[in-house]
Chains A and B, each alone.
Chain A
């Protein structure tokens, strides 16, 4: 079982909806990540939080808004999404960033935008 928990596992939303994806880890990791993954493609980095501060935003559109309420939780707020945003959204954590590199992924939230 993964130690990074994501909810919901599946989400269907319309283009005018506001929804959130949630991620939780209890491994004491200080870096948390959001990735987007299209079918049969590698994960693409969206955001990195390090010690609860946003350290990387990979030029993600503002309709995706990340939030890190504390060191164990990471949210991704979704608003006015487009059908092309449909994908598997993966949360990951690592003990810290940099050379250690070992990311632990959650099972993902499958998002469908109608």
Chain B
């Protein structure tokens, strides 16, 4: 089974621009979560989608948004980029949303650099 894939792997943008990152979950997984990883803040939860609905949201400004498509693929968008948005953005998929079994599988991430 193919793992979680994320595209692109690397991105360089300038302040004020917007960016869209894509994530394809493991086949059969319907939940997709996004995390931001930085040296200073570590791994922080952004949001989670299940069946095209946002189920959870972390403490990030409204510039960060996402969506999920009917095939479970997900995109996240960051508008009006700031220098502090430079980070590794990780996508994770899982088979269930809640319950006793919610192991998440992570993709390789998209490295975003904002200049």
A and B from one assembly? no
